[in-house]
């Protein structure tokens, strides 16, 4: 007779503290389980301490908990895709850039003041501890130390302070109110103006401080994307944007000509000196260049181009967040375009390196959403961003919900 094994009990010691307190089953997703994610609460798991020696510290890893189920049920009752698996976090590659610059500072004999070297060291320490754990004491302490050091360097007006400003802007983009990171960019522009007023002077400055061009590239990128979300003026000038090259556009998945359209739309946000024909033509140019490829790069480019076309065509038809006075033709075409972009967003794996970079085009597309399926795809995008190893864009979904509720009469 075959012996029946005794059923194993449920390991409640692995559940997050909030699920354990409520007496409900935890799905064990890290860093936030679905229950806490839907409630908008911080997810807290029991901490395990593992002692390793120096030889094994790089190779030893604690086992990752398995998900309780391959899919979850959202608050509308529809089956959602599983949360993305944890991936390496470097915040757009900026932390790697900051680390490489610090290593150069340690080995070079450049004319960098000691407080500038300390700023990079402490800012890098803050960035790493911030990624590992937002609320621990080390993260909070390193944040205060880095911020104090940054204030000191800013008072001396040394351009190396741009590295610190860009780091805090990076976290504001990912963790602050979506689209409201312009205060850091304004500070960076003011500091930069003290040292260079044109591209040639900036190139000379970049020869003195390695990595400065890469830092400014992130800042001007955030300037344009933030201006589209906030519907506000640009902070940097055209010559600042010349430093964005093919390598940068390739890293975020945005075609260069689509970025030019974003700049054009940001400059002419009031629509006074542009025609409907011009806007429609620019929108059509993006549509004609849509890539039918299935690679992550092609899909990301389609999302960017589609979002640019939607924004241009929406303005051409008199459609915006508060104005629905437009022809049924425009509304029908726009809805089809939003469908196309949403379908592509749904196809891109949440583990793709381009996924978190699609926040701005996803938001611009959401502004013109009009169907339940479109809303759900955008909701799923924001929730996947919140479920990744380093949660991003905490209030973006709420902003979209407000747009749909007030401008489209949506529940």
Is a pLDDT exceeding 60 seen at residue 168? Answer: yes
Backbone dihedral region of 249: left (phi > 0), alpha (psi from -120 to 50 degrees) or beta?
Answer: alpha
Residues 262, 224, single domain; the answer is no
Please tell me which residue, 138 or 208, carries the higher pLDDT value. Answer: 208
In a domain, 8, yes or no: no
Please write the tens of the pLDDT for every residue from 175-190: 999 998 889 999 999 9
Residues 158, 266, single domain; the answer is no
Please write the tens of the pLDDT for every residue from 20-50: 777 788 877 766 777 777 776 767 665 433 3
**Which residues form the domain of 254?**
245-407
Residues 306, 388, single domain; the answer is yes
Distances (CA, A) of 358 to 114, 119, 258, 384: 38, 31, 13, 12
In a domain, 151, yes or no: yes
In a domain, 12, yes or no: no
Q: Across all residues in the chain, what is the average pLDDT?
A: 81
pLDDT at 41: 72
Residues 256, 342, single domain; the answer is yes
- Mean pLDDT (whole number) for 93-110: 81
What 3-state class would DSSP assign to 366? helix
- Mean pLDDT (whole number) for 133-141: 75
Q: What is the dihedral of CA 245, 251, 253, 254, to 10 degrees?
A: -30
Residues 99, 210, single domain; the answer is yes
Residues 184, 249, single domain; the answer is no
pLDDT at 354: 93
Residues 143, 223, single domain; the answer is yes
Which of 390, 394, 352, 380 lies closest to 30, judged by CA? 390
Is a pLDDT exceeding 90 seen at residue 344? Answer: yes
Q: What is the dihedral of CA 405, 385, 218, 348, to 10 degrees?
A: -100
Q: How many CA atoms lie within 13 A of 288 on its CB side?
A: 7
Please write the tens of the pLDDT for every residue from 283-322: 999 999 998 789 999 999 999 999 999 999 988 876 544 4
Number of domains observed in the structure of the chain: 3
Domain boundary among 230, 255, 287: 230
Phi then psi dihedrals of residue 79, to 5 deg = -75, 125
Domain boundary among 172, 200, 230: 230
Residues 402, 340, single domain; the answer is yes
């Amino acid at each position: 007779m075959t012996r029946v094994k005794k059923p194993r009990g449920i390991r409640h010691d692995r559940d997050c503290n909030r699920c354990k307190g409520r007496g409900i089953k935890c799905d064990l997703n890290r860093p936030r389980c679905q229950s806490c994610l839907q409630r908008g609460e911080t997810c807290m798991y029991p901490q395990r301490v593992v002692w390793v020696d120096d030889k094994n510290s790089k190779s030893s890893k604690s086992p990752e908990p398995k998900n309780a189920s391959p899919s979850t049920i959202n608050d509308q009752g529809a089956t959602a895709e599983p949360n993305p698996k944890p991936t390496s976090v470097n915040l757009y590659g900026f932390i790697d850039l900051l680390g490489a610059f610090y290593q150069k500072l340690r080995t070079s004999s450049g004319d960098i003041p000691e407080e500038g070297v300390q700023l990079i060291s402490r800012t890098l320490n803050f960035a790493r501890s911030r990624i590992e754990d937002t609320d621990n004491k080390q993260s909070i302490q390193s944040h205060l130390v880095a911020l104090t050091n940054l204030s000191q360097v800013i008072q001396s007006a040394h351009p190396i302070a741009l590295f610190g400003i860009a780091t805090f802007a990076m976290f504001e983009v990912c963790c602050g109110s979506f689209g409201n990171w312009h205060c850091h960019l304004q500070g960076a522009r003011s500091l930069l103006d003290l040292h260079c007023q044109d591209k040639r002077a900036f190139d000379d400055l970049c020869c003195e401080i390695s990595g400065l061009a890469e830092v400014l590239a992130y800042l001007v990128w955030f300037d344009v994307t933030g201006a589209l979300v906030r519907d506000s003026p640009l902070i940097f000038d055209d010559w600042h944007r010349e430093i964005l090259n093919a390598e940068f556009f390739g890293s975020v998945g945005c075609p260069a000509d689509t970025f030019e359209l974003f700049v054009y739309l940001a400059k002419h946000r009031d629509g006074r000196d542009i025609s409907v024909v011009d806007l429609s033509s620019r929108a059509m140019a993006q549509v004609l260049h849509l890539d039918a490829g299935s690679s992550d790069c092609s899909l990301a480019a389609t999302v960017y181009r589609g979002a640019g076309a939607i924004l241009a065509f929406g303005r051409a038809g008199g459609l915006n967040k508060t104005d629905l006075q437009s022809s049924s033709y425009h509304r029908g075409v726009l809805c089809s375009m939003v469908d196309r972009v949403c379908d592509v967003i749904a196809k891109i794996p949440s583990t793709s390196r381009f996924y978190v970079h699609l926040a701005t085009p996803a938001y611009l597309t959401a502004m013109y959403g009009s169907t339940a399926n479109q809303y759900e795809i955008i909701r799923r995008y924001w929730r996947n961003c919140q479920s990744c190893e380093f949660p991003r864009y905490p209030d973006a979904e709420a902003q979209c919900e407000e747009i749909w509720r007030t401008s489209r009469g949506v529940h």
